[in-house]
Structure 1
Amino acid sequence: MLQNWKKILMLAIPSLLSFATATVIGTVNLIMVGHLGALIIAIVGVSNIIMYNGFAIFSGIGHTVNYLVAQNYGANDMRTGIKRMYYALYLVTIFAIILFVVGWFFSGEILGWTGGSSELVGVGEQYLELRFFALSLGMISFVFHGFLRGIGDTKTSMVLSVISNVIILFLVYGLVFGHFGLPELGLEGSGYAILIGEFVGLVLAIYVYFFRLHPLYQTRTWVVPRLRDMKELITESTKLGVQEFSMSLSMFIFTVFVARLGTEALAANEVALNVMSFGFMPAFAFGATATILVGQEVGRGQPLKGRRAGTDTAIMGSIFLLVLGTLEFIFAENIAMLYNNTDPAVYHTAAQLIMISAFLQLFDGFLNFYAGGLRGIGDTTFLLRTSLVVAWCLFVPLSYVLIFVFDLGSIGAWIALYSYLMVFGLTLMYRFYRTDWQHVKIKGAVHAT
C-alpha cells in the first residue's frame, strides 16, 4: 500500500502545485483588483463564471485526450495516442477561433445577460474581451497538458503552469498599479496580464510536445484528418464537454441568482468561491491523478488494480481536504478580510459562506476523485447523465427556492450549492464501486493511417 500511495503522491503533488499556483495567482489577482472596490470584485467574479462556462464547453477535448492517452500509454500503444492527440489539436484550434470571435464581438452582451448593472457592463466589457482572448489560447494549452498527464508527466505540466502563472502575477501587479515602468491600466491591466501569460504558456507547451517529446513518441508525425477516426474523439469529447458545461452553466445561473441580491452579495459570493478554490485545488489534482492511474491500469489489462488506485487516491485526497477545511473554518473571517476589509457587509457574509463550506467541500472532493476514476475507464455516458439530472433537477431549482422563496439570501444559495455537490459526489462514488471492474476494457483504437 505504501508503494501505491507514494506513486499517487508523485503524480498528485505536481498537479496539486500546478493547480495551487493557478489558484494563488487568481487569489492574489482578486486581492489586488479587490482594493479597487466591490464593483471590480463583482466584475471579476462574473467574468470568472463566464470563463468557466466557455472553458467547460470545449474542455471535453482535453479531458478525453487525458484518459485515452493514459490508456494508450498503459497499453504501450503511443502510436494511437499520438493520432488521437493530433485529432484533438485539429478540433480545439477550431473552437479556439470561435471563442476569440465571441469575445471580440459579444463580450458586452454576455455581461448584460448576467443581470448585472449597466455600470458593471460598461466597466467590465473590455476586461471580459481580454479574458476571452486568453481563454482561446488556454484551451489549446489544456489539450497539451492533457497529453502530458496521460503519459504521467505531471512534473512538466506543473513547470509550464508555474511559469505562465508567475508571469501573470508579475504583470498583474505591474499593469494594474503601474509598477516596473509599466502603464497603470487598472482592471484592464489584469486582463492583459492573463492574456500574455496564457500566450507564453502555449508557446512553451508547443515546444515541449513537438520538440522535447519528439524523440520518444514521434510527435511531429503528420496525421491526416479522417472523420471515421475522429468520431470516437468527437463523441467522447462531446459527452465530457456537455457534462462540464452542464455544471458550469448551472453555476452561471446560480451566480445570476446571487447577483439579484446586489453587488455586495455578489462580491461576498466571489470572495468565498475564490477561497474555496483552495479546496477545489486538491480535489482537481487527485481527480486528475485518478484518471491517470485508472486509465493506465486499464490499458495494461489490469482494471482491478485501477480500482485500487482510484480508492487510494480518494482516501489521500480526502485527508488533504479535511486538513484544509479545518484551517478555513478557524480563520474564516481573517481570510475574508484579506480580500476586502472596508465593506463589513462583504467580508462578514464571505466569512459565513467559508465556514459553511469548510468541511462540506469534502463532497466536492468525492465528485472529482470518482469522476476522475470513471473517466479513466471511459464511463463518460454515466457522468453526462448524472451531471444533467443533478444540476437541473436539484441545484438550480433548489437555489431559486432557498434564495427567493424562503428568502435565505447568500446562505440559502450555498446550502443549495453543497446539497448539489453532496448528491453528485455520493452518486459517482456509488457508481465507481458498483462497476463490474473485471470486465472493464480499453477504448477501441483508431484505424491505422
Structure 2
Amino acid sequence: MDTQKIKLFLNDVPYRAIWELVWPQTATMLCMIVISLTDIYVGGKINSEVQASIGVSAQLHALFMVLGTSIGAGAMAAVSQSMGAKRFARAKRYSGFVLVYAFCMAVLLAVIGYCFRYFIMEILQVEHRMVETAVTFFTFVLFTLPFQYTHYLSSVLFRATKEVIKPLLIIIVIAFFNIFGDFAFGLGYFGFTAWGGKGIAFSTWLSYALGAVIALIALYRNDIFEKYVIPRFRWMKKATPYLFKVSIPALTMQFLWQLGYLILFAIVAALPDSVSALAGLTAGMRIESILFMPAVAFNATASILIGSTLGAGKKEEAKKIGLAIIFFGTILMSTIGLCMLPFVDTLAGFFSSDADAQWNIRMYVYINIVSTPFTVGGLIVNGIMVGAGATVYALFINPLCIWGIRLPLGIFLAHILGYGSIGVYFAMLLSMSIQATSMFMIFLKANWTRYTLRKI
C-alpha cells in the first residue's frame, strides 16, 4: 500500500463514530472490572480460600454465561444489521425474541447446575477444605444467571441500536450496589453483620437483580422491543434460522473455550502449591481484565459498526472500518500494556499478602503484557465476525488453539517438565499468538461478508 492509498484510507476512517462508541463501552467495562476486582479484594481480606473459591466460581460463571453470550452474538448481528437496513420492525421483533428465550434458558441452566454442583467441584479437583465455600459461591452464581442474562442481552440490544450511554448508567448502578454489598455483607462495614464469603455472593445477586429490572424498563421506554415482546410464530419460524446460524457456532466455540479455561484451572489445581497458584491466577486474570478493558469495547464497537454497515449493503466500507479498528485498537492497547509494567509489583501486593500468590500474579501479568498485540487483535477480529454473522470462523480457530495447543502444552510444561504455573502461562501465550494470527488471515483473505442477514 503506497503513501497515497494510506492517506485515503486514514481519511475515510470514521474516527468520531468509533470514539463515540468506544469510550462509553470502555467505561462500562471499567465498572465490570471494578465489580470483579472488589470481589477479589474483599475475598482476599477474608482469606485465600475465599479468594480461590471466587476464582473457581468465576470460571464456572463464564462457562454458564456461554449460552447468553452466544444468543447475544446472534442478537447483535440480527439487530445491528436490521438497523443498518432501516428494518426497525424486524429489529424490535428480534429484540423481544432473544430476551424471552435467553431468560428461559438461564433458568434451565441454573436448575441443571444446582443439581450437579458437588459433582462439578469434584471434576475440577477442588481441595476438600474449600469445597463448601466454592459450592456456596457457585450456588449464588446460578441464582444470579437469569438476571445476568437479562442484563447482558439488554446491553447487547442497546449497543446494537448504537445506544451506549444507558448500558453505562445501568452498570454504574450495579457496580455501586455490588461494591457496597461486598463491604457491608462481606466484611461487616457500615454497621452490617459480616457474612464473609456468603456476603460477597449475596451482593452480586442483589445488584444484578436490580440491574435487570432497570434494564428492562429502559428497553421498553426506548421502544426497542414490541409491546407484546414475543413475535408471532409465523415470523419466528422465518427469523429463527439466522439467529441460530450465528448463535450456534458462537455457543459451541464459547463452550469449548470456557471449558478449556476450566480444564486450565484444574491443571493449576493439581499443582503442589494449588491454593496460592489458584489465588494468584484468579487475581492475575482480574488485573489482565483491566488491561484488556478498552479492547472489549473495541470488540463490541467492531460488531456494531460492521453489522450496521453490512446491513446497509456497504461491504468494502465494512472491511475498511474493520481494519481501522484492528489497527488503532492494537496500538492503543499495546501502549497501555507497556505503561502497566512499572506497577505490576504494586498490583500484586494489593491483591494478595501471600508471597507465592504475589509471584504467580506477577508472572501471569508479565506474560500477558507480552501477549497484548495478539490478544487484542484476535478479540477485535472476533467482534468483526460477530457483526457480520460469520461466527463459524471462530468456531474452528479458537477451540483448536486452546484444545490442540494450550491445554496439552500446559500439562506438558507444568506437570511433565515441572515448570508449574509458569508453564501454563507460557502455553497461553503461544496459543493466543497462533489464534490471533489465524483470525487476522481470515479477515484478510476469507469472504466473511457473505454471512449477512437476508430479507425476512
TM-score normalised by length of structure 2: 0.93
Q: Please, which of 403, 408, 413 is the counterpart of residue 402 of structure 1?
A: 413
User: Is 1:386 aligned with 2:397?
Assistant: yes
For 2:453, what is the secondary structure of its paired residue? coil
CA distance in 2, matches of 1:220, 1:12: 32
CA distance in 1, matches of 2:97, 2:34: 33
Match of 1:165 in 2: 175
Report the residue type matching 2:231 in the other structure.
V
Q: Please, which of 361, 365, 374 is the counterpart of residue 363 of structure 1?
A: 374
Report the residue type matching 1:67 in the other structure.
A
Match of 1:336 in 2: 348
How big is the shift at 1:279?
Answer: 2.3
For 2:14, what is the secondary structure of its paired residue? helix
CA distance in 1, matches of 2:61, 2:286: 14
Q: Please, which of 48, 54, 60 is the counterpart of residue 50 of structure 1?
A: 60
How big is the shift at 1:417?
Answer: 0.8
Q: Kindly provide the CA deviation profile for residues 66-112 of structure 1, in whole angstroms up to 9, marking residues without a partner as x.
A: 12111111000021112222221232122111122134333333222
User: Is 1:285 aligned with 2:301?
Assistant: no
Match of 2:6 in 1: none
Q: Which moved more, 1:13-22 or 1:116-125?
A: 116-125
Q: Aligned pair in 2 of structure 1 residues 60, 441: CA closer, same or farther (>3 Å)?
A: closer
Q: Kindly provide the CA deviation profile for residues 149-208 of structure 1, in whole angstroms up to 9, marking residues without a partner as x.
A: 111111111111121122111111111011223221111101000001110110011101
CA distance in 2, matches of 1:134, 1:445: 37
Report the residue type matching 2:336 in the other structure.
L
User: Is 1:305 aligned with 2:354?
Assistant: no
Report the residue type matching 2:346 in the other structure.
N
Q: Matches of residues 169-318 of structure 1 in structure 2 within 5 Å? A: 169-210=179-220, 212-214=221-223, 218=226, 220=228, 222-225=230-233, 226-261=236-271, 262-318=274-330
Report the residue type matching 1:325 in the other structure.
G
CA distance in 1, matches of 2:173, 2:379: 26
How big is the shift at 1:12?
Answer: 0.8
Over the aligned positions, Cα root-mean-square deviation in angstroms equals 1.8
Match of 1:138 in 2: 148
User: Is 1:320 aligned with 2:328?
Assistant: no
How big is the shift at 1:220?
Answer: 4.7
Unaligned 5+ segments in structure 1 are none
How big is the shift at 1:228?
Answer: 4.5
Report the residue type matching 1:309 in the other structure.
I
The answer to whether the 8 Å contact 2:95/2:225 transfers is: no
Match of 1:375 in 2: 386
Match of 1:351 in 2: 362
Q: Which moved more, 1:53-62 or 1:253-262?
A: 53-62
Q: Matches of residues 40-79 of structure 1 in structure 2 within 5 Å? A: 40-79=50-89
CA distance in 2, matches of 1:414, 1:57: 27
Unaligned 5+ segments in structure 2 are 1-9
Q: Aligned pair in 2 of structure 1 residues 354, 402: CA closer, same or farther (>3 Å)?
A: same
CA distance in 1, matches of 2:65, 2:229: 28
CA distance in 2, matches of 1:221, 1:106: 33
The answer to whether the 8 Å contact 1:213/1:219 transfers is: no
For 1:180, what is the secondary structure of its paired residue? helix
CA distance in 1, matches of 2:368, 2:417: 20
The answer to whether the 8 Å contact 1:298/1:441 transfers is: no
For 1:294, what is the secondary structure of its paired residue? helix
Match of 1:8 in 2: 18
The answer to whether the 8 Å contact 1:8/1:289 transfers is: yes
CA distance in 2, matches of 1:234, 1:405: 42
For 2:418, what is the secondary structure of its paired residue? coil
Q: Aligned pair in 2 of structure 1 residues 6, 389: CA closer, same or farther (>3 Å)?
A: same
Q: Kindly provide the CA deviation profile for residues 231-267 of structure 1, in whole angstroms up to 9, marking residues without a partner as x.
A: 3222321111111111111111011100111111111
TM-score normalised by length of structure 1: 0.94
CA distance in 1, matches of 2:394, 2:187: 44
Report the residue type matching 2:73 in the other structure.
H
CA distance in 1, matches of 2:242, 2:406: 31
The answer to whether the 8 Å contact 2:246/2:390 transfers is: no
Q: Matches of residues 433-448 of structure 1 in structure 2 within 5 Å? A: 433-436=444-447, 440=450, 442-446=452-456
For 2:194, what is the secondary structure of its paired residue? coil
Q: Aligned pair in 2 of structure 1 residues 115, 387: CA closer, same or farther (>3 Å)?
A: same
The answer to whether the 8 Å contact 1:45/1:270 transfers is: yes
